[in-house]
Structure 1
Amino acid sequence: MSVIGFDIGNENCVIAVVKQRGIDVLLNDESNRETPSVVCFGEKQRFLGSAGASSAMMNPRSTVTQVKRLIGRRFKDPEVQTDLKIFPFDTSEAKDGGILINLKYLGETHSFAPVQILAMLFSHMKDVAEKNLEMPVVDCVIGIPSYFTDLQRRAYLDAAKIAGLKPLRLMHDCAATALSYGIYKTDFSSTGPTYVAFIDIGHCDTQVSIVSFEVGHMRIVSHAFESNLGGRDFDEVLFGYFVAQFKEQYKIDVNSNIRACIRLRAACEKLKKVLSANSEAPLNIECLMDEKDVKGFIKREEFERLSSALLDRVCIPCKKALADATITVGKIHSVELVGSGSRIPAIAKLITSLFGREPSRTLNASECVARGCALQCAMLSPVFRVREYDVQDSNPFSIGFSSDEGPIRTPSSNGILFPRGLSIPSTKVLTFQRSSQFHLDAFYADPNELPAGVSSRICTFTIGPLQGSNSDKARVKVKIQLNLHGIITVEAAMVNNIHFHAIFQ
């Protein structure tokens, strides 16, 4: 039996496995450590991962990328609509308000939910792991963004289940990064906690966590995020710049041609990487469209000027994480910068200015989440013996409950059952006086904490029927848990020590 850590990124996936002598990142069939998060449907077969990325140009409208942006979201969300304008595949609204991805496959049009596409990616990652290890893979820990809602977390579990995986935990990306950083450290102070800021600038988002380390223990003090600020946004700045330039210089409209858009975006991503190490960079694409070869050129100064609005937003989640942790910049021992979008020099300068120190790059920027997830999986699995190390994550959103009679209030909670920053997992027991079946509604108590466009409603639990009660009003005890995945569940409902069902809706 093996234990695996999965980082299903918006652009690439990474698989890490714990072995007797440490942690290894597994190679895919092309001997690469990262696998593209791509599912492509050809005329007669389906291509996954690297094969999907290679086939994307031949089947642009049947190639699904960045499915992580769509999982557990509503079709009419403003953020979703903005993303859909970039994607080449067709989408429509499902009956439940979700998203359907409409693709041509085997000569017919098929509609897939994002969770099905994600399950295909999980299945491919599972196959890659099993080929490497030559044994079945079931137990795993999966990295997710801290801003994922209850619905998105459930969708991830559903996708993993479809693929034949058993997630032992959905772990926040920054928590996984902190674990892969802290478990090997031996120089933490013995007189008090050591605070480290982890800044993860990924392909589509920015996450920041302040983490407290002590010997044998780590605790997430605060989470902050910007769900719409990542490497791809800087790519879009370059894309827009060259679209305008080519329209004026070559009289072509790149936006009118799907293949041209895909090629130019890929070229802009490479150009951004070149600008990270050089002060200027050229762009050359043969036969972009209308049989025209195009050339472009940009300096790093110009790129930073065009990206100034994006760069200004980088510091916002950093300041919020510090404020929520109620500590000053001076107490931060180190700043760890990771993520595929973290290599832009201007971002490092901003973080240096904010924290008063150069950010460290102790960890592998692309592999740290998967490595941390693999470590956590080993800790949770009965198969492995791992050094005693306590990982204490925290709840990113305040969660409240209401019943048929109104909001549920307790003396210390001010109407919030699971406050933001509360350790997870966490359990609460509520007592009701009821004579018949009733409902409990879970909701996010502060909409300002959520990503834009996300509904405050989480779910509804039906408690009953209460046939076991012998009086007009019986005392009903309901055990509610914010579990290890960060998902709200009703663990038990009892009347006079008799268990009743709680139905999730």
Structure 2
Amino acid sequence: MSVVGFDVGNESGVVAVVRQREIEVVLNDESKCETPAIVCFGEKQRVIGTAGAASSMMNPKNTVSQIKRFIGRKFSDPELQKDIKSLPFSVTEGPDGYPLIHAQYLGEDRTFTPTQILGMVLSDLKIITEKNLNSAVVDCCIGIPVYFTDLQRRAVIDAATIAGLHPLRLYHETTATALAYGIYKTDLPENEPMIVAFVDVGHASMQVCIAAFKKGQLKILAHSYDQCLGGRDFDEVLFHHFAAKFKEEYRIDVYQNARACLRLRAACEKLKKMLSANPEAPLNIECLMDEKDVRGFIKRDEFEQISIPILERVRKPLQKALADAGLSTQDIHSVEVVGSGSRVPAIIKILTEFFGKEPRRTMNASECVAKGSAIQCAILSPMFKVRDFQVNESFPFSIALSWKGYGAADNQQSTVVFPKGNCIPSMKALTYYRSGTFTVDVQYADACELQTPPKISSYTIGPFQSTKGEREKLKVKVQLNHHGIVSVESAVLLEEEEVEVPVVKEAAKEETKMETDDAHPSSTETDVNMQDAKTDGPGAENGVSESGDKTSQMETNKVSF
């Protein structure tokens, strides 16, 4: 069994493996730990990763990048529309409302879904890992952003299936970072928890996690995020600054040339990195457009001045994370900073002012998510023995169940089944009284915060026959699995029947003993008591179908985690 952790970022991918009691980051053919998450389509072949990045300048309109921003999102999504404007390849709306990526491949016009492109990227990382391990790679853990919706999580699993991978768990990137940080700590307290804030500023997003550490234990207290605040936003600020400057000085409009845009963006990214270590930096590009060489110059103070609208957004996720955890900055023991975008000095300055302490960089900013995912894979693997370290993960959204009322209360009713911060995995049971087939909707209770449609899925429960036209008692189990995906797992028709049992003293003692032996006190399954919710009971199976399209017989056995 392979023990592999994948971190597929917006810009590049990193893979870590566990072997010989160590966690190693896999190096690609260029002996680099980071492999570009790029797919370039050509007339004769398709190139991925480093080779794809090398071909991007010569073939920009057929080079697909930043695919992580497309996964599981509607074409009409405002943020996706904003991303599309800055990318050189063509994207249109498909018949299902989701984006389709267009490219010239093998001399034909082809369309690909974001899931297919992500599958290609994962397949390339898988091949690199198999070369390194000299064995097949199937089982793995994949790091995902904490803000990924149910649909995005399902799309990642589909992409992994396309690549021939079997994800044992989709792991939140911030939790993977916290696990990689805490599992090697030998000085963790036994009583009072040590609170650590993890701030991950990646290429396209910012994530914050507040975690409590004790000896052999990690508990996630709160998550927060800004889906559109990352290193690339600083690149875009520099890009627009110099595009306007060159239009004024050299009379060239880079917006009219896809290759010129790519070259200027690449130069601005290098310039941003230079400004992270120097108070000023030059920008020189030969033959940018119309055979004109261009030159520019900017100071760090000027760069920070034009970046104020971005920097002003850094504090909001920090404040929200502390508020959700019910803590103040004085409760934070230390602040750990990771992610490629965190190297901007202005961000470090804001973090220092907010928390009142200097952020630390004790972990490799690019490798920590992959390493944490690999550790989680080792914990799940029977092939490795990992030191006892309990991880209490929390779900970042509130999930509600909605249904149409019965009889006089013929209106839409709902209840929060998994509140924000609920542990993963978890299962809850609701009891309904119905005389015929009915539908329940799974939806986000805080959809406004997510900026996504509230509905996740619909389930039709039935058909079943009621006796004497009376309402029957049905128990519906709702599962939040280890991937963070919500589903109605089973529906059971409960029938009560009186049975006369002779009482024998000695037999009763034996029966009591057996019941005690068979009890499962550690089960996380709980009943949700509401207007039409009751308790467990014996039952018979009923059909449950998602979105009303397909019907499947669900399990009636009690599930314990």
Could you tell me which residue of structure 1 aligns to residue 530 of structure 2?
none
Deviation at 1:470, TM superposition (A): 7.9
Q: Distance in 1 between matches of 2:467 and 2:366?
A: 56
- Tell me the residue number matched to 2:512: none
Q: Quick one: structure 1 residues 468 and 340, their matched pair in 2 at CA, closer, same or farther if it must change by over 3 Å? A: farther
Q: Cα distance, 1:475 vs. partner?
A: 1.5
* 1:30 is the counterpart of 2:30: yes
**Following TM superposition, by how much is the alpha carbon of 1:408 offset from its aligned partner in structure 2, in angstroms?**
4.9
In structure 1, distance between residues paired with 2:53 and 2:330: 45
Q: Distance in 2 between matches of 1:350 and 1:269?
A: 21
Q: Which residue of 1 aligns with 2:264?
A: 264
- Contact 1:401–1:407 under 8 Å retained in 2: no
**How far is the alpha carbon of 1:435 from its aligned partner?**
2.6
SS at match of 1:127: helix
Report the residue type matching 2:541 in the other structure: H
Q: Which letter maps to 2:318?
A: C
Amino acid aligned to 2:331: K
Q: Which has the larger radius of gyration?
A: 2
Q: Establish whether residue 171 from structure 1 lines up as the match of residue 213 from structure 2.
A: no
Quick one: distance in 2 between partners of 1:478 and 1:469?
20
Gaps of 5+ in 1: 410-414
* Aligned pairs (5 A) from 1:236-385: 236-385=236-385
Q: Could you give the per-residue CA deviations for residues 311-365 of structure 1, whole angstroms, max 9, x where no partner exists?
A: 1111110111001100111010000000000001111011000000000001100
List per-residue Cα deviations over 1:245-304 (Å, max 9, x = no partner).
Answer: 110111100111000000100110011001000011111111111001111111101000
1:231 aligns with 2:231: yes
How far apart, in 1, do the equivalents of 2:152 and 2:254 lie? 34
1:395 equivalenced with 2:437 (yes/no) = no
Q: CA deviation at 1:41?
A: 0.3
The aligned counterpart of 2:186 is 186
471-480 or 202-211: which moved more? Answer: 471-480
AA of the residue aligned to 1:498: A
Residue 436 of structure 1: CA displacement? 2.3
For the residue of structure 2 that corresponds to 1:313, the secondary structure is coil
Distance in 2 of aligned mates of 1:377 and 1:469: 50
Does 2:504 match 1:504? no
Distance 1:103 1:372 in 2: 35
**Residue of structure 1 in register with 2:477 after alignment:** 479
Report the alpha carbon displacement of residue 464 of structure 1 after superposing the two structures with TM. Answer: 2.2
Task: Number of aligned residue pairs: give it.
Answer: 498
2:438–2:461 Cα contact (<8 Å) kept? yes
Residue by residue over 1:387-432, the C-alpha shift from the partner in whole angstroms, topping out at 9 and shown as x without a partner, is 11111111111111112325555xxxxx211111111111110111
Q: List structure 1 runs of 4+ shifted beyond 4 angstroms.
A: 406-409, 467-471
Between the two structures, name the one with larger relative contact order (CA 8 Å, sep ≥ 6): 1
Q: Do the aligned partners of 1:89 and 1:102 also contact (CA within 8 Å) in 2?
A: yes
Deviates more, 1:457-466 or 1:158-167: 457-466
Conserved 8 A contact 1:205-1:229? yes
Secondary structure of 1:43's aligned partner: coil
Q: CA deviation at 1:495?
A: 1.4
Task: Encode CA deviations 1:474-499: one digit per residue, 9 max, x unaligned.
Answer: 21111111111111012221114222
Structure 1 residue 471, shift from structure 2 partner: 5.8
Please state how far the C-alpha of 1:468 moved relative to its aligned partner.
8.6
| CA distance, structure 2, for counterparts of residue 36 and residue 290 of structure 1 | 29
Counterpart contact for 2:404–2:413, Cα < 8 Å: no
**Residues of 2 paired with 1:437 and 1:380: CA distance?**
39
Aligned-pair CA distance for 1:469 = 6.9
Percentage identity across paired residues of the two chains: 58
Q: Mapping of 1:81-230 within 5 angstroms?
A: 81-230=81-230
Please, what TM-score do these two structures have when normalized by structure 2? 0.87
Q: Quick one: which amino acid aligns to residue 501 of structure 1?
A: G
Alignment root-mean-square deviation, CA: 1.3
Q: Gaps spanning 5+ residues in structure 2: where? A: 406-410, 495-538, 548-561
Amino acid at match of 2:84: L
Cα distance in 1 for partners of 2:193, 2:123 equals 41
Does the Cα contact within 8 Å between 1:141 and 1:169 map onto a contact in 2?
A: yes
